[in-house]
Amino acid sequence: MRTAGSTTPADISRAVVVSFDRCESERLRRVMQSLVSHLHAFATEVELTQDEWEAGIRTLTETGHITDDRRQEFILWSDALGLSMLVDALENTGSQGATESTVLGPFYVPGADVREVGASIAEEPAGEPAWVHGYVRDVSGRPIAGAELDVWQNGDDRLYAVQNPDAPEHHLRGRFRTRDDGSYAFLAVRPVPYTIPDDGPVGRMLAATGRHPWRPAHIHMIVRAPGYRTVATHIFDAESEYLDSDAVFAVKPSLLRDFVRRSADDPERPAGVGGPWCSVENDLVLEESSRPGEPTDPGRTA
Ligand SMILES: [Fe+2]
């Protein structure tokens, strides 16, 4: 029989882990027991105080309150703590030379307009025009016709359309399909570095810990094609600031691209461009969605 006062921190942790023993889902049981074990180990290791945990609860509460259809503070936490990139790395092993993935980020809005090849995604002036072009191929080099590129980016005011109530709904985003030879092109603008939203709990954490909120300039892209693994990735401007200190740890060397400066009288100038512009060559490689002998869910089979 247990005597009063004998319950130790280890007793508490063990009791909570055991409470999940009868969970019918093996996967859920493993996740919950591991979560509790690591959460308790964390609190024990740092000797978490009552005041600190109350502050933690307030921060989580504020994170919920500030999150809505246009502001996603939970994704910001995941991004700023590197968890988004860790999960991405666990799921996408980057085999076979396929284009590497990176964070989705908090500004993706599904349902962008489908636009013609070569069309502009800027519905109002938003910076230096950038002609983005390339091919979508499989890992053997065969073109993938009809692949969808779902692109979004910020303008020279640093904002995504979803952050700016005055911007047209489909400004700086759009969906494109590759031609029969796998080629694609669209007119974007040269992206600029921006700060992740830093007026909420994540911003306070960054300031309190001496971290900056900047991300290097990039264009987001999700590439989809039937029979292939969907990839969410970026084109990073190879000349951008903050490539070595991205606030969300999303830079991969294979995703850096040169934004080549072009003059207004360049004969390859895209229609509707009147001044200086730049071009970006960006080929993409998709891997098939499943390969014989490959576990469908690597990393979760141990
Ligand atoms: Fe972004």
Distance 188 CA to ligand 1 centre (A): 14
**Structure-token pair, residue 32:** 């919950």
pLDDT in tens, 141-174: 999 999 999 999 999 999 998 888 888 889 999 9
Residue 204 has pLDDT above 50, yes or no: yes
Q: Report d(CA 229, CA 208) in Å as an integer.
A: 39
Q: Which two tokens stand for residue 195?
A: 């700060």
Structure tokens given for 107? 């500004």
Q: What's the gap in Å between 224 CA and the centre of ligand 1?
A: 19
Q: 46: CA distance to ligand 1 center in Å?
A: 33
Q: Which residue has the tokens 């013609």?
A: 116
CA of residue 95 to ligand 1 center, whole Å: 25
CA–CA dist 79, 210 (Å, integer): 17
DSSP string, the chain: -PPTT---HHHHHHHHHHTTTT-S-HHHHHHHHHHHHHHHHHHHHHT--HHHHHHHHHHHHHHHHH-SSS--HHHHHHHHTTHHHHHHHHH---GGGPPPP----TT--S-PPB--TT-BS-SS--SSEEEEEEEEEETTS-B-TT-EEEEEE--TTS--GGG-TTS-TTTTEEEEE--TTSEEEEEEE----EEPP-SSHHHHHHHHTT---EE--EEEEEEE-TTB--EEEEEEETT-TTTTS-TT----GGGEE--EEE-TT-TTPPTT--S-EEEEE--EEE-BS--TT--SSTTS--
How many Å is the Cα radius of gyration of the chain?
Answer: 23
Residue 120 Cα, ligand 1 centroid: separation in angstroms? 18
Residue 218 C-alpha to ligand 1 middle, in angstroms?
Answer: 6
Q: What is the pLDDT of residue 95?
A: 65
pLDDT band at residue 94, thresholds of 50, 70 and 90? low
Residue 285 corresponds to which tokens in the numbers above? 């490689």
Per-residue pLDDT reduced to its tens digit, 14-41: 999 999 999 999 999 999 999 999 999 9
What is the whole-number distance in angstroms between the Cα of residue 123 and the centre of ligand 1? 18
Q: What angle do CA 219, 102, 30 make, to 5 degrees?
A: 150
Q: In this structure, are residues 85 and 211 in contact, taking their beta carbons and an 8 Å threshold?
A: no
CA of residue 291 to ligand 1 center, whole Å: 31
CB–CB of 282/136 below 8 Å? no
* Contact by Cβ (8 Å): 276, 262: yes
Query: Which tens digits make up the pLDDT trace of 123-143?
Result: 888 899 999 999 999 999 999
Confidence of residue 274 (pLDDT cuts 50, 70, 90): confident
Q: Is the pTM of this model over 0.75?
A: yes
CA 171–ligand 1 middle distance (angstroms): 14
Centre of ligand 1 to C-alpha 107, Å, is 7
Residue % of the chain over a pLDDT of 90: 79
Q: How far is CA 76 from CA 73, 111, 116, 179, 249, in A?
A: 5, 22, 33, 36, 12
Residue 296 is predicted with a pLDDT of 40
Average of per-residue pLDDT values in the chain: 91
- Condensed to tens digits (0 to 9), the pLDDT of residues 49-84 reads 999 999 999 999 999 999 998 789 999 999 999 999
Ligand 1 centroid distance, CA of 105 (Å): 6
